[in-house]
Structure formats: C-alpha cells, structure tokens
Structure 1
Amino acid sequence: MEVAKVLHMNGGVGETSYANNSLVQRKVIYLTKPLRDEAITSMYNNTLSKSLTIADLGCSSGSNTLLVILDIIKVVEKLCRKLNHKSPEYMIYLNDLPGNDFNTIFTSLDIFKEKLLDEMGTEMGPCFFSGVPGSFHGRIFPLQSLHFVHSSYSLHWLSKVPEGADNNKGNIYISSTSPLNVVKAYYKQFQIDFSLFLKCRAEEIVEGGCMIITFVGRKSDNPTSKECCYIWELLAMALNDMVLEVKYDAYFLLLMGHDPFLLH
C-alpha cells in the first residue's frame, strides 16, 4: 500500500488530535520566523507583484496551519504601507496528503480572516484559499506559479518504505539494531525524495520567488543518535510489546478452549 494513501496526522480537535499535540512544531515555526520575515521581505521588494501566491506544503491541520500564513501576510502588508503600495491579492495554497483533515482548516478560515482584518484593517487585498491534496514528492502546481513556498516539519517523511530494508526486523526506522544495509537504504531514499522535491519546486516557483523549509536533523554522524530518531526506537519497542501481549492473550484463550477470532 502506498504511503501517500494512508499517511496523515490525526484530524479533528480532540484530545489525541494533531491540533492539540503539535507544540514542538509550533515552537519550530516561532524559531524560524526571523528567517521567513527576511525571505518574504526580500522577495516582495524584488518583485513588487500585484498578486502573491503562497504555498504551505505539509500544512496538516490545527492552529499551526494558518500561523505561518498570518505572519507572511502581515509582513507584506507592513511593507506595502511603508512603500505606499497598494496591497496585493493573496492566493494561498494549503497542501498535504489526501487523508489530511482539510475540513477542519476550511471551517476555521472565517475566524482567520476576521482576525487578519482586525489586525491589518480593511485596506488589505483579498485572500483566496485552496486545499491541494497530493504528495509534494512530485509536481502539484503549474509551472512558475508560486512566489513563496513554505514547508515545516514535513520533509523528513519519505515517499515510501525504502527498498532493501526488509531485514530491519523489530524496527520501524533506523535503530541501534538495524543492519548497515538498512541505513544505506534510508539514506538513498531520502536522496531520491529530496532531489525530486527540489526539482519540482524549481519548476513551480517564479523567477525571484523563494522557499523556506525546515525539517528534523541531527549534529551527530550516528544515524541512531538520540538527537532526533530515538523516539521511533521507543515506539517500535512499545508496538512489539503490544504484539506480544496480543499473542499471549490469544494463546491463553486457545488453551481455555476458545477461538479468539470469534470473541468480541
């Protein structure tokens, strides 16, 4: 089964939703704000476009989704007033995989627009929003159509399970017990995915446009370092324990003369 068809963050606004469990991602967005402000300022000063097309790749859902968009628009609006330019029209593309909770995003747009107008006033140009389901490991926008591309905490997700990692038994990623060929397989898949991502964005971004991307990394040369990937080793341990518990329960029921597959 293809990863793009099944992978998505937990939707809604409940206790276990991504919206209520993404504080680390929000912190990253705050930390990278100066870089985004500098990039959008430089881009707008160089283009002075009457319309700006902005794409957020891997947008997910929840309050983080529109936080970056709000910051970008505020920077442009302040520039327009400083330069005495008419506010541009904004075309906002929100991209994620097809299983993403786009409905929650769309129902929050009215509140977002009201907040934006309260902060910036009614003089600003209109904002048009579109949801764009699809994998960013391929073309998803027309040629030379984007002025500003943003992606945060998304590009470390691969497009598929690497080929040649079948012997990574008991693991769901690279761990301290993973064979060397598994490490090489993940490295190769990342090279393929990241190269394709850059190639596609190069075709989609207008001349003078720009892109800001952030994703998980590490300082250590050790691919199993606890800096970024140890959480997946812990998760694999928990999943293995759950499987063993289910097997034990099923075996116990069989000993008692019951068929575990017929019990509810």
Structure 2
Amino acid sequence: MDSFDASSMKRDEFLHMNSGDGERSYARNSTIQRKIMLKANFVLEETIKTLYRDHSLECLKVADLGCSAGPNTLLFISNIVDIVNTTCTHLNREPPTFQFYLNDLFGNDFNTIFKSLSDFYKRLEEQGHKLGSCFINATPGSFYGRLFPCNSINFFHSANSLHWLSQDPLLELTSEEKSLNKGNCYIVSTSPPTIYNAYVKQFQKDFELFLKSRSEELVSGGAMVLVFLGKSNTPRITGWEIISLILNDMFLEGLIEEAKLDSFNIPVFEPTIEEIRHVIKEEGSFYLQRLELCTIPWNECTNEDNDTNNIRAKVMAKHARAIMEPLLSANFGGQVISEVFVRYQKKIVQLMEVEKLESSTFIISMTKIA
C-alpha cells in the first residue's frame, strides 16, 4: 500500500475554484469556460452519437472529471441527456438510464451543485425526460490516478481541468536550478529551458497517468472528450504569466515575502499539439479520433460589443480571481488578494492597447483501443 501523503491532501483541499454562488464565486464568473464548452459541443455530440450507435446501452455511465461547481456542470449533463435522447429517437430505441459521476478534488464545492439538483430535475421533467431516469453522484479525488472500478464507465468528459498539474512542477529541481527562475512563479519570457522542461516533464507524467487510469476504468469501446488549455503557434501572454509578473512587482515593493514567492509555482501547463500527441501515442491505450484547436478572445467574456476595455478587464480580473484566489490565499495570505487583482485589471487594460489577448483550447476525442 502506498504511504499516506499528508502534504498532497492539504494541497488538494485548496486547489479548487471559489465556492458558493456569490459575486466572487466561480459559479458567477465562468462564462468563458461556458463558451469553450459550447464550442466543443459538436465534438461531444459526434462522440456520444457514435458511442451510442455502436453500443446499445440500458444504462449510460458518464463521469465528468474536474467538474468544479456552478451552471456549467449541469449544462454538460443536460447536453448529454439531450444528445442521447435525440439519437435514440433517430435509431428508434428507448432512452437509457443515465448515471453521472461528478468528480473534482476534495475541496470542491459539491454542496452548491447538489443544492441546485432539485430544480435541475424539475427542468428535465418539464422537457419531457422521465423522472427517475437520471442519477447524479459525487466522486471526490484526483483524476491523476484511479477513481472507478475496472471496466465500469462508458464515457469520460473533462473540460477546463487537465492543464492543472498534480504538483509543483519544479519540486524535483535543485535549488540552483530553481534559482534560474527567481522572482517568477510561472514560465515567463526570461525563463530558461530548464524551467520549461520541468513543466513539460510534469505534464507528460500526469497526462500519461490520467490516460492509463481512464483506460482501465472504461469499458471496451468506451470514449472520452477532453477540453483544456494549450499553446497555438502564435506566441501570446497567458493569465498565469500576468499573475507571476504582478507577484514579482509586489515582492519588489515589499508587499510579499521573498520566501513565499520563492516557494510558490503555479501548477498549470499549456501544452503544444505535439506534446499532447506524443503522450497519447506513448501511452498507447487510445485511438485519437479528433484533435481540434479553438481560440477564444478574452473580450468574449462580456456579452456587450460596446463594452470598454476597462469593463472587459474588470470581468477578466473577476474570472481570474474566481480561479486563483484559494491557491494564492493559501500561499500568500488573504490580505494581498484584492491588491493582486486590482493590478491584474490594470495590466489587462494596458495589454489590450498593444496586443490581442486570447486563449487557445484543445478539443480531443478518443476511443479506448479494444
């Protein structure tokens, strides 16, 4: 039996989005993630239709990995139910029973999800779906490892999660190697290859373990759709890099302790298409059906075309805070958080004047090799 890792448990408790449904919650500040999910819906629909056409299932077992909390979680479930029911109508089949497993780390706000299920079930019934045909459960834990019994899941989905790494990517570097990126807590333009390679190595290790675990849990012919941040061929600044620059400025001004900055690295990596293909090929359990790249301009976080850059930047700062506040608070203390995101908003306004800010997302569809 593996030894108990208390530090890992502690880390997993604060690696989560802002909980609840208040003004700073992830539930209220995840419209960009929603737009990404909607852009990926055509791949989700294609994959589910193929899966259900080739396998007549009485119970469709689906796991949403890294589900977080808020309306996006239930949007995914609703999409799956609609796709399957439409497919069943075309194939003249009875709809299956649905079993959904919602997964995220232990600190995730599952309570908010389950408080909203009563209204969600009512909406499904109003849309003509049979009451009692959809069951929803929570499965807390890291998806970098096993979560379910062997051969038990028909379909895995993960959106906006797999760019998060399982641990600090610089953990295994020497003090001398870490010092090459001193003052930074992410990959920035001045970071040496040693730092980038450490991030790549951690991504490869994590993604390979993720694929191996899912291949063991999927039934024969089971499928996955994965949606996560990555790099396009066009170099661009990332939100993680902006936070690193801000924290460095605050350290230089004496607002953040040197030891805290030196010991902190944002556990996120945005891979290239080649880095993704390499891991999938080396792990060997999956047939890659689709690998699409979509680009989302940051200014799409608002719904009004005539919004000013300052309004857009304010919304972007709220989105970033909903994602990063628990992690930053755990490392630097809650007293500096407001200042970090005031500066983040100002930095976004400055950058919007000189460059196009956007994020690239990979949409991947895979089938387990029999």
| TM-score category (smaller protein) | 0.7 to 0.9
Counterpart residue identity of residue 212, structure 1: V
Distance 1:20 1:215 in 2: 20
| 1:38/1:176 CA distance change after superposition, 3 Å | same
CA RMSD of aligned residues (A): 1.8
Amino acid corresponding to residue 183 of structure 2 in structure 1:
G
Per-residue CA deviations over 1:74-105 (Å, capped at 9, x if unaligned) read 11112223333222111100000000000000
Aligned to 2:183: 170
Matched, 1:160 2:167: yes
The percentage of counterpart residues that share the same residue type is 47
In structure 1, list runs of 5 or more residues that go unmatched. Answer: 249-264
Residue 95 of structure 2 corresponds to 87
Following TM superposition, by how much is the alpha carbon of 1:234 offset from its aligned partner in structure 2, in angstroms? 1.3
**Is the aligned partner of 1:211 residue 2:224?**
yes
SS in structure 2 at match of 1:143: coil
Instruction: Tell me whether 175-184 or 80-89 shows the greater mean CA deviation.
Output: 80-89
Deviation at 1:245, TM superposition (A): 4.3
Larger Rg: 1
Extract unaligned runs of 5+ from structure 2: 1-6, 258-370
Q: In the alignment, is residue 193 of structure 1 matched against residue 229 of structure 2? A: no
CA contact (8 A) 1:74 1:120 kept: no
Question: Higher mean Cα deviation, 1-10 or 31-40?
Answer: 1-10
Check whether the contact 1:59–1:96 (CA below 8 A) recurs between aligned residues. yes
**SS of the residue aligned with 2:51?**
helix
- CA–CA separation in structure 2 for the residues paired with 1:47 and 1:157: 32
Which of 12, 15, 37 is the aligned partner of 2:23? 15
Give, in whole Å, the separation in 1 of the partners of 2:79 and 2:241. 36
- Among 74, 84, 100, which residue is 1:66 paired with? 74
Give how far 1:231 is off. Answer: 1.5
Work out whether 1:179 is the aligned partner of 2:192: yes
For residues 113 and 166 of structure 1, the distance between their equivalents in structure 2, rounded to whole angstroms, comes to 51
* Matches of 2:217 and 2:250, distance apart in 1: 45
| Distance in 2 (alpha carbons) for counterparts of 1:90 and 1:6 | 31
Aligned position for 1:29: 37
Q: How many residues align?
A: 242
Deviations 1:206-236 (A, max 9, x none): 1121100011111238xxx32xx52212111
Aligned partner letter, 1:205? L
* SS of alignment partner, residue 139 of structure 2: strand
Q: For residue 139 of structure 1, what is the aligned residue in structure 2?
A: 146
With normalisation by structure 1, the TM-score equals 0.86
> 1:68 Cα deviation (Å)?
1.1
Q: Which moved more, 1:150-159 or 1:82-91?
A: 82-91
Output the CA distance in 1 between the equivalents of 2:203 and 2:46: 28
Which of 111, 124, 149 in structure 1 is aligned with 2:156?
A: 149
Q: Is the 8 A contact 1:55 1:94 kept in 2?
A: yes
* TM-score normalised over the length of structure 2: 0.62
1:77 aligns with 2:85: yes
Deviations 1:154-213 (A, max 9, x none): 101000012226322222211112122111100001000000100000001111211000
- 1:246 matched to 2:246? The reply is no
State whether residues 88 and 125 of structure 1, in contact with CA within 8 Å, keep that contact through their aligned partners in structure 2. no
Do the aligned partners of residues 12 and 88 (structure 1) sit closer, same or farther apart at CA in structure 2, a change above 3 Å counting?
same
Give the C-alpha shift of residue 125 in structure 1. Answer: 5.8
